[in-house]
Structure 1
């Protein structure tokens, strides 16, 4: 069973929230192998809270770096080098779906020569792309899609997060990757909202997985 890798068109576009929803919808475990910056709490801690009451397990990070920066810089500050091989050796051994959340986008450097996209290939993961509507997001989305094609990454499709307009249709058209779902904007991610979006994703994912 290939893991599902969640990446996006940049930083701060909702990967962690969507990862939590997907873990709930698929009754999957969650794993973020690289965390850069944790003063305000880690992404794993947020997902653990969101998965309260479920059987899903949040697996520990391989690299938990203090500096909120690109992973290769944060690792350098601590005198270490991120190893894709080490991450692959620590993939959780489970018999169900695994949601893996990346750091930033596809071309975020992990060390002096490898990027998040290289980690995806090494893990043999399928990819769900997260996009968010802001000025420049079409460009960032299509650049992300182009990298996926050039590296032959197996993309399942797009999940659009936050406020969305016609740009969704254009990104789907120009990228030629399908739309899985759209998650609407909600100022407060309360329990009712999370339950509703989980139920919607369960239905929407059936045609893709």
Structure 2
């Protein structure tokens, strides 16, 4: 009986140690596997309608091995782009981000409202625009089945789409000085233009 009690006690202690160690290990691995930048974005003070659906994507290395990490987040908002952009910009300012007035923001002209931000060692691009709606049907095609009627909301495209890109400042080309195009730095023209014929004086008149 004593041996059985000792065995049961030993098993109970072993199970307790495993459970007490596994739970912190699980949360520790979960914390390390998730990029802390996404945790920061989760803490932005935006209303629920401005973050109806969120999709995150990450690429590159956290330690900038070959390529630095790029964090991308796409969010669906239930309200118009202007109102959505306003609440996101206010939340970024409240969280310590500062507007970044820089050329190539955006890289090319985009529809909607595009702004750039900086905080510590990070840069952030915020793009708010109208959602991508389904393309209209081809000529002769009907969007309504023969035995049904169109719903009142058919053909509408409400809300907005939010894209957030966060990069390390050292990997953002816009933080680097751009080459100057000062004409004084181009040097002399290696192919000078002659205004007169240089052989004119060497031409002999017929005798």
The TM-score bracket by the shorter chain reads under 0.3
More helix by share: 1
TM-score if structure 1 supplies the norm length? 0.23
**Higher relative contact order by CA 8 Å / sep ≥ 6: 1 or 2?**
1
Structure number with larger C-alpha Rg:
2
TM-score if structure 2 supplies the norm length? 0.24
